[in-house]
A and B are shown apart, each in its own frame.
Chain A
Amino acid sequence: MIPQPGYDLKVISIQINGEAEQYEAPLTVGDLMQRKNLTGKRVAVERNGEIVPRSRFDAQPLTDGDKLEIVVAVGGG
């Protein structure tokens, strides 16, 4: 999401897999995936306890205090 002229840029803090990280808003889940080089990777995302479907990554804005879980498949029994 490209900030529009006059848009009030602000820094938001997001918990990603338990670690606090700061970003400039506005930011979508899709933007974050791009920053993390996760675009197109097999990951699943939960935001504040709710699944964010891959198809909605670009439409889902992140707000201050959001808690994200980004998971992958690993070996397990």
Chain B
Amino acid sequence: MSNDNLIIAGKSYNSRLLVGTGKYKDFAETQAAVESSGAEIITIAIRRSNIGQNPNEPNLLDILPPSKYTLLPNTAGCYTADDAVRTLRLARELLDGHSLVKLEVLGDPQSLYPNVGETIAAAKTLVAEGFQVMVYTSDDPIAAKQLEDIGCVAIMPLASLIGSGMGILNPWNLQLIMERVQVPVLVDAGVGTASDAAIAMELGCDGVLMNTAIAAAQKPVLMASAMKKAVEAGREAYLAGRMPRKLYTASPSSPTQGMIAKL
């Protein structure tokens, strides 16, 4: 499958699994899970530095160096376009001019559902400033198309709420989005276990981004490996083209001819 790379903003990736780096018990577990997932694009958050508390405390970028991974700074926790834009300007400075980013503007802290109006406003500003924007959004096909038209390099609809592990709740909307949008469509949020990731890929999604499904598993490093295989299996199944569903009609797998005679 070496010729089946994921292309985002002109750059080619072998892995179609993107992973977050939050909620792990320590950096060692983060590093092991990321390694086990095979992900090349990993999300990070931007937060105020704990000034003066422990200047020698290790930095996330030391264990996940930008030389090895494509870091995708996010705007998690931002509720306005303005906060999201400021956060990503800081990220670009932090990462020496790196322009690939994950935009998410949330609507409320209970659902973490995207605020699409603010997301669109932020996307316009960021694209105009030269950012390559991978955008988290609702599974609304009209919003997805608007975000593509603005110039976002990937559309990332939720499958269910962030951190919920509820899986692919509306495959029809994901398909409506994929029919309308030319840029890669990645499921972002809601995956709970390996079969969810496989279903997303079987639907034809270009990739899956997840964090909690791995980090909150009993054995995160093992789940990361499971997710890697699920994304690969789902992709291959999509490319292979599944058999048609035949309602109420069985079809034997073994020959119907040449049966031994009844005594």
CB <8 Å contact, B43 and A43: no
**Chain A minimum-CB-distance residue to B188:** A77
The answer to the question of B73 belonging to the interface, with a C-beta cut-off of 8 Å to chain A, is yes
**A75 to B30, alpha carbons, bound, how many Å?**
8
> Could you say which residues of chain A place their CB within 8 Å of the CB of B30?
75
**A77 to B33, alpha carbons, bound, how many Å?**
13
The answer to the question of A10 belonging to the interface, with a C-beta cut-off of 8 Å to chain B, is no
Residue in A17, A36, A45, A73 whose beta carbon sits within 8 Å of that of B59 in the complex: A73
> Could you say which residues of chain B place their CB within 8 Å of the CB of A45?
93
> Could you say which residues of chain A place their CB within 8 Å of the CB of B211?
76-77
The interface size bin for chain A is: 20 to 34
B residues lining the A interface (CB < 8 Å): 20-24, 30, 43-49, 51-52, 55, 59-61, 71, 73-74, 76, 86, 89-91, 93-95, 162-163, 209-212, 215
Residue in A38, A49, A53 whose beta carbon sits within 8 Å of that of B51 in the complex: A38
CB <8 Å contact, A72 and B94: yes
**A37 to B57, alpha carbons, bound, how many Å?**
12
Told that A73-B60, A77-B21 touch, could you supply 15 new A-B pairs with CB distance under 8 A? A42-B61, A43-B49, A46-B86, A69-B48, A70-B49, A70-B51, A72-B49, A72-B94, A74-B45, A74-B60, A75-B20, A75-B23, A76-B20, A76-B45, A77-B74
Looking at the assembled complex, report how far the CB atom of A71 sits from the nearest CB atom of chain B, in whole angstroms.
Answer: 5
Residue in A17, A37, A49, A77 whose beta carbon sits within 8 Å of that of B48 in the complex: A17
**A44-B94, A71-B46, A72-B47 given; A37·B20 CB < 8 A:** no
A residues lining the B interface (CB < 8 Å): 16-18, 36-38, 41-46, 49, 51, 53-54, 69-77
